[in-house]
Amino acid sequence: MDLSLTEEQEMLKAAVRRFVDTEYPKETLLELQATGQNAPSEPWSKLAATGWLGIIIPTEYGGEGGSFTDAGVLFEELGRGPVPGPHISTAALGALAILEAGTEEQKRGLLPDVAAGRRTIALAITEADYQWDESDVQAIAATDGDGYRISGTKVYVYDAAAATDLICAVRTENRQHVGLALVPADAPGVSIRRLEGFAWNLAEVRLDGVQIGQSSVLSGRAMPGESPFAGGWLAVERAVANAIPLLCAYQVGGSQQVYEMSVEYSRTRIQFGTPIGRFQRVQDHIINLVNELDSARWTTYEALWKLDTERDAADSIHLAKTVSSVAYYNACNHAHEVHAGVGSTTEYGLTLHTTASRTLYQFLGDPRFHRRRLADALGL
Amino acid sequence: MDFEPRYTAEQEAFRTEVQEWLRDNIPTGIEHPADSSDLTYEQYQLRRDLGRRLGEKGWLWPTAPEEYGGGGLTVDHSVVLEEEIDGYNLSLPPYYDSGGRLGGNSILVWGSEEQKQEFLPKIFKGQIRTWQLLTEPEAGSDLANAKASARRDGDDYVINGQKVYVGSAHGSDYMWTITCTDPEGDRHHNLSWFMVPSDLPGISVFPMDLLSSAGESGAGSGVKNIVYFDNVRVPAKNLIGGENEGWKVATTHLELEHGTGGKIGRNWIVDRIFDYCKSNNRRGEPLSKDSDIRESLIDIYIDAEIGRLFQLRNYWMRHSGAQVTYEGPQASYFRKQSGLRIATGILDILGPAALTKDAQWGAGEGHIEAHQRAAIIALHPGGTTDIQKVIMSRRIGIGRQQRERAGALA
Ligand SMILES: Cc1cc2nc3c(=O)[nH]c(=O)nc-3n(C[C@H](O)[C@H](O)[C@H](O)COP(=O)(O)OP(=O)(O)OC[C@H]3O[C@@H](n4cnc5c(N)ncnc54)[C@H](O)[C@@H]3O)c2cc1C
Ligand SMILES: Cc1cc2nc3c(=O)[nH]c(=O)nc-3n(C[C@H](O)[C@H](O)[C@H](O)COP(=O)(O)OP(=O)(O)OC[C@H]3O[C@@H](n4cnc5c(N)ncnc54)[C@H](O)[C@@H]3O)c2cc1C
């Protein structure tokens, strides 16, 4: 047993931390939150240039061929910002969906661009009946000559406004298959509208008779003679499952950051002539916070390890998402208690995390969804 | 015991009068926006105008003494008024007036007869809107550390310093302010309160950018501000409760702010989430029929009912003259913590729809989204949850030799 990171992982961690500190200072993050647009942007081009977006893409497709744990280290550090997407959507969800669902030709065609950040992706799955189940996908791909016409409304789509391409879950006309179509975000018939408010980088995506060719269906799982959409849902479920621990790592990074902010503040803020960290009630907030953080960290890294060692990871994935979503949410709440007034101001930076924690609480399935899946995975 | 308000024939007659008056006098366009920062200046003026007309009838501060411009009405009458105005999603007063509520009560207890005559009718008749200015960068929970200074100079005091997280949108007429009148003096014996006219030279107000202004009790403030005092000359007659006697006054102010006043009313956000779940479907079934959602709704309901009863109890205790100890901070503590639990429950029920004010994809016309932001920020105003616990402990009589007594209320 060895629960430490490898030397290379430590180096990666340090490099990403330096990168985030330099390219994504608080001022930049606040500006990005106001406009909601981390891509295209200057820091985003620099992030793409590092090659990190190809971290889990195999080298034969132009990626770095790293492990899930390597990617976990990357996303944990990005989560400290929190650096807004579309990195998880592109480098984790997008890359995994193409790896799981694409044909060999599609992988060769698409993945090098994904790895280089030339193509950024958002996964458009959820609709009005908001759940992460196959039965809730109602957008239709109707046969149209050689290709298809896609119609439907996707909603609460994370990172949609920052992506060049959308991977859309769609149902065939005969309603038999749910599969995946790659749709350029600027294709005629696509309209993307940001959802305003406390939501973090969520959008509505309208698909209004969007025309795509055969080659845009991610058809790697369809048997000869089957609809090219066949097997697509299975593939995206696997992609989402494997991306979840990476999203969790991002939540771990966010929790780590608000923990460090809170410890620092409790040492320096003076009330009643003493640092507030001397008050046991403040200590309680910080202890609750670190307990959330560590719960998220160790459930997440065990899930990543299971993926890397090709163990059955279903239970750990659902456990990690349940725990990390609650942990990041609560970590922010505890941090607000420690900071009181100053934490409410946007310029302080804590609310960047509070905002992220709410949206990520439910993205890729909320705690209740994953508790049910966990019960299934445990054979209950 | 009797939890049900029993209405006498006289009260019912009064209710009819109130209903008719409100029907004729509440203008359209006064509606509570989801986020109080969206309250326009015109809406604010409509509310002020309604306040003045309520004030003329003695219905703005119904139980405040008549001799100082209040309604002089009984609690029975005020219950009816509060119930009826609540039906319009308004409260009394129908705008943010924290300094009127807390300052007015403090003046009633600690002001001289002359001061009562000067300030109270303006408050109770709705002629002025007042902010409360307590917090400073270095004096949050530790209010007694207030450093904004007031130095006597002839017939005036000269105020210098800074207050933070105070006030509202659309300005104020007066600022109810605690200052330090003896920098060398002993803690708790060096503070003094002033009613400061907001238009005095040297006062500047800068809005702050917060995640939410959190809607304290009464109407939401919309915005919190930083207020700077730069050699502001305030007439000495505006000093309330005596020089260096400010802590005494503060105990009255804080007692009310910590929830001892109690209130009667619905929990608007709970009504909204219940309505929403009954009238919106997921997968062809009303949300309220889903077993997980039912569980969450009932958790929310339980929190709301306990909160309602704590407030009802405090209202009754205050108006029946019962001896209060820890009940104020208890209600405040419970309201804050349960507010956050309710927000989490709503997020569990609605998912991302709880997080956007989008007309199509949000919920409850933006009120749900605003509540998600407010619930976390509402932990702090009027004393953090930790401070509520500290006060409860002292009132229960633990941790100190002497059990602390509640602040005096009028
Ligand atoms: C099942 C069991 C097994 C045990 N086994 C062992 C053993 O093997 N060896 C051994 O030496 N002892 C043992 N103990 C004793 C144990 O260590 C003490 O009970 C414990 O340290 C608390 O001391 P106390 O009971 O005197 O309570 P107190 O110290 O009197 O505490 C009473 C209450 O005050 C609180 N409190 C006290 N001080 C503070 C403070 N500074 N800040 C905040 N809160 C405070 C406590 O949390 C508690 O709620 C055992 C106790 C139990 C119940
Ligand atoms: C939305 C909003 C509206 C507000 N409106 C007003 C207003 O209208 N007028 C006004 O004057 N002020 C207002 N405030 C300020 C508010 O009253 C203060 O934020 C609050 O009292 C806490 O002070 P602080 O922010 O300086 O936190 P601090 O006092 O610095 O507290 C930091 C942390 O230390 C803890 N702590 C401090 N002392 C103790 C102790 N003795 N024991 C245990 N824990 C302790 C706190 O609980 C908290 O966890 C508002 C604040 C907000 C956020």
Closest residue by Cα to residue A82 from A255, A261, A254: A254
User: Which chain B residues touch A130 with a CB distance below 8 Å?
Assistant: 282, 351-353
Residue of A nearest to B208 (CA): A345
Closest residue by Cα to residue A190 from A174, A173, A168: A168
* Residue B282 domain flag: yes
Interface contact A197-B355, CB threshold 8 A: yes
Q: Average pLDDT in the A361-378 region?
A: 97
Give the CATH number for residue B383.
Answer: 1.20.140.10
User: Which chain A residues touch B357 with a CB distance below 8 Å?
Assistant: 196-197
Do B199 and B279 fall into the same domain? no
Q: Average pLDDT in the A342-348 region?
A: 97
Domains (range + CATH), chain A: 7-120 (1.10.540.10), 122-230 (2.40.110.10), 235-377 (1.20.140.10)
CA gap B257, B106 in Å, rounded = 11
Out of A158-162, B85-89, B141-145, B253-257, least confident range: B253-257
Angle of helix B327-350 relative to helix A350-362, nearest 10 degrees, comes to 50
B217 band by pLDDT with thresholds 50, 70 and 90: very low
B199 band by pLDDT with thresholds 50, 70 and 90: very high
Which pLDDT score, from 0 to 100, does residue B254 have? 84
pLDDT digits (tens, 9 = 90+) for A115-169: 999 999 999 999 998 888 999 999 999 999 999 999 999 999 999 999 999 999 9
Q: Does residue B209 carry a pLDDT above 60?
A: yes
Do B216 and B266 fall into the same domain? no
CA gap B252, B257 in Å, rounded = 9
Among residues B210, B245, B280, which one ends one of the domains?
Answer: B245
Q: pTM here?
A: 0.95
* Residue B76 domain flag: yes
Interface contact B372-A358, CB threshold 8 A: yes
Residue of A nearest to B374 (CA): A344
Q: Cβ(B99)–Cβ(B131) under 8 Å?
A: yes
Task: Give the number of the ligand closest to the Cα of residue B176.
Answer: 2
Phi, psi of A29 (to 5 degrees): -65, -40
Residue B340 belongs to domain spanning: 261-396
Q: Cβ(A93)–Cβ(A121) under 8 Å?
A: yes
ipTM for the predicted complex: 0.96
Q: Cβ(B188)–Cβ(B151) under 8 Å?
A: no
CA gap A14, B48 in Å, rounded = 58
User: Which chain A residues touch B292 with a CB distance below 8 Å?
Assistant: 368
pLDDT digits (tens, 9 = 90+) for B318-346: 878 888 899 999 999 999 999 999 999 99
Do B139 and B29 fall into the same domain? no
For the residues of B159-201, what is the DSSP string, one character each? EEEEEEEE--SS--SEEEEEEES-TTSPTTSSEEEEEEETTST
Do B266 and B388 fall into the same domain? yes
Give the CATH number for residue B192.
Answer: 2.40.110.10
Q: Cα of A310 to ligand 2 centre, how many Å?
A: 50
Do B82 and B192 fall into the same domain? no
Among residues B245, B276, B291, which one ends one of the domains?
Answer: B245
Which pLDDT score, from 0 to 100, does residue A210 have? 98
For the residues of B37-74, what is the DSSP string, one character each? GG--HHHHHHHHHHHHHHHHTT-SSTTS-GGGTS----
3-class SS at A305?
Answer: helix
| A122 bridge partner residues | A166
* Residue B1 domain flag: no
Q: Cβ(B98)–Cβ(B91) under 8 Å?
A: no
Q: Which residues make Cβ contacts (< 8 Å) with residue B221, sequence separation at least 6?
A: B36, B96, B98, B167, B168, B169, B213, B215
| B149 bridge partner residues | B160, B180
Spell out which residues line ligand 2, taking CB within 6 angstroms.
A 269, 271-272, 276, 279, 281-282, 337-338, 340-341, 344; B 98, 132-135, 140-141, 165-166, 210, 213-214, 224, 377, 380-384, 386-387, 390
Interface contact A270-B380, CB threshold 8 A: no
Interface contact A198-B340, CB threshold 8 A: no
Number of domains in chain B: 3
Interface contact B212-A332, CB threshold 8 A: no
A229 vs A4, A109, A185, A345, B262, CA distance in Å? 42, 19, 20, 48, 61
* Residue B4 domain flag: no
CA gap A344, B212 in Å, rounded = 7
Do B234 and B297 fall into the same domain? no
A194 band by pLDDT with thresholds 50, 70 and 90: very high
User: Where are the extended beta strands (E) located within chain A?
Assistant: 121-124, 140-144, 147-158, 165-172, 178-184, 190-194, 202-212, 270-271, 274-275
Q: Cβ(A363)–Cβ(A304) under 8 Å?
A: no
Q: Cβ(A95)–Cβ(A57) under 8 Å?
A: yes
- Best residue in A194, A198, A270 for a mutation probing chain B (most B CBs within 10 Å): A198
Q: Average pLDDT in the B186-197 region?
A: 97
Tokens of A300: 């997440």
CA gap A144, A150 in Å, rounded = 10
B210 in contact with chain A, both atoms CB, cutoff 8 A: yes
Q: Average pLDDT in the B65-75 region?
A: 93
Q: Cβ(B34)–Cβ(B213) under 8 Å?
A: no
B218 band by pLDDT with thresholds 50, 70 and 90: very low
* Residue B284 domain flag: yes
Residue corresponding to tokens 């560590």? A294
pLDDT digits (tens, 9 = 90+) for A237-288: 999 999 999 999 999 999 999 999 999 999 999 999 999 999 999 999 999 9
> Across chain A, what does the average pLDDT equal?
97
Phi, psi of A311 (to 5 degrees): -85, 165
User: Which chain A residues touch B164 with a CB distance below 8 Å?
Assistant: 341
CA B214 to chain centre: 11
CA gap B54, B22 in Å, rounded = 9
Tokens of A125: 């799955």
B399 in contact with chain A, both atoms CB, cutoff 8 A: no
Alpha-helical (H) ranges within A228-349 are 232-268, 280-308, 314-339, 341-344
Burial pattern A322-335, b for ≥16 Cβ within 10 A else e, equals bbbbbbbbbbbbbb
Which pLDDT score, from 0 to 100, does residue A298 have? 98
Interface contact B377-A345, CB threshold 8 A: no
CA gap B378, B34 in Å, rounded = 15
pLDDT digits (tens, 9 = 90+) for B31-59: 778 888 888 999 999 999 999 999 999 99
Do B16 and B85 fall into the same domain? yes
Q: Cβ(A164)–Cβ(A185) under 8 Å?
A: yes
Give the CATH number for residue B53.
Answer: 1.10.540.10
Q: Is the four-CA dihedral A249, A180, A110, A108 of positive or negative sign?
A: positive
Do B352 and B234 fall into the same domain? no
Tell me whether strands A121-124 and A190-194 are parallel, antiparallel or unpaired.
unpaired
